[in-house]
Amino acid sequence: MNRLIFMPRLRILGICTSGRGKESNTYYLMKTAFDQIIDEDIEKEIIVASELNLRPCEHHYSINAKMCVHPCLITQIDKKDEMKKIYDGILLSDIVIFSTPIYWGNHSHLMQLIIERLNSLENANSVHNQVLIKNKIAGLMVLGHEDGYQHVVGSLMNFLTALGMIFPPYAYAAWVGESNEDTSHDRDRIEKDNRIKGMFIDLAQNTVDFARHVLFCKKCGNKLDYEHLSKIKRTLD
């Protein structure tokens, strides 16, 4: 007997945080991976952070945690600030993949700026008892030239789980080359090496397949609606 299988529309957002924007190897791998995603009904978008006017966090949280609200005070006041595109992009997506190059063993400055501005979404839960990020799958793409990706992945996974994201198994793709100072062949190598590209393509596809399994009921099409335990506990207090 043929059973009806619902395939609701999925939305995947990539946020590329390389300082070199669309010229970067980080963007190249993210775009290549997104282009290869196989899914019957998916909407894809890549936000190139370096193309946006993003004001750094002003750390209102540190004055008084209650001042860190969503929409962020900067977003409310400064119409030129474009962080809203990232807030809305995340809130409207089922899957969010962040990509970053490694700079001195850490994620990029743009990734850090976005993390600090996203404090308003995390704070909505931890201080204002309002769960805004839920039932969303996250993935990571990290690119370097010689070392440091495990540290970067660990640090970003820590932030994203605090934000309320769900990770699939093998939630990141990362590549670094050799320990030398010659970056001039990296792009050529990445473009020609299907094994490198394959890791990033697999990561993107894996997040989509996982989202299909976890976010929607195959029989009825209903979307997962799981509230974080912390919120339920606070409601009971």
Ligand X SMILES: Cc1cc2nc3c(=O)[nH]c(=O)nc-3n(C[C@H](O)[C@H](O)[C@H](O)COP(=O)(O)O)c2cc1C
Q: 108 vs 123, which CB is nearer to ligand X?
A: 108
**Minimum distance between the CB of residue 173 and ligand X, rounded to whole angstroms?**
14
**Minimum distance between the CB of residue 151 and ligand X, rounded to whole angstroms?**
9
Among 12, 24, 42, 138, binds ligand X (CB under 6 A): 24
> Which stretch of DSSP H or E encloses residue 176?
none
Give me the phi and psi of 52, to 5 degrees please.
Answer: -100, 155
Q: Which residue is nearest to ligand X (CB)?
A: 144
| Distance of alpha carbon 115 from alpha carbon 120, whole angstroms | 10
**Dihedral (CA of 152, 156, 158, 161) sign:** negative
Question: Residues 6 or more apart from 56 whose CB is under 8 A from it?
Answer: 113, 116, 117
**Minimum distance between the CB of residue 51 and ligand X, rounded to whole angstroms?**
14
Strand segments, DSSP code E, in the chain are 10-16, 42-48, 95-101, 137-143, 172-175
Q: Which of residues 89-148 bind ligand X (CB under 6 A)?
A: 101-105, 143-148
Name the residue among 207, 171, 218 with its Cα closest to residue 38.
207
Q: 122 vs 186, which CB is nearer to ligand X?
A: 186
**Minimum distance between the CB of residue 30 and ligand X, rounded to whole angstroms?**
9
Binding segment (CB under 6 A) for ligand X, from list 22-30, 50-58, 210-218, 223-231: 22-30
Binding segment (CB under 6 A) for ligand X, from list 18-26, 131-139, 160-168, 208-216: 18-26
* Binding status of residue 168 toward ligand X by CB under 6 A: no
Helix 25-35 with 194-215: angle, nearest 10 deg: 50
* Binding status of residue 3 toward ligand X by CB under 6 A: no
Q: Using CB under 6 A, list all residues that contact ligand X.
A: 18, 20, 24-26, 101-105, 143-148, 176, 183, 186
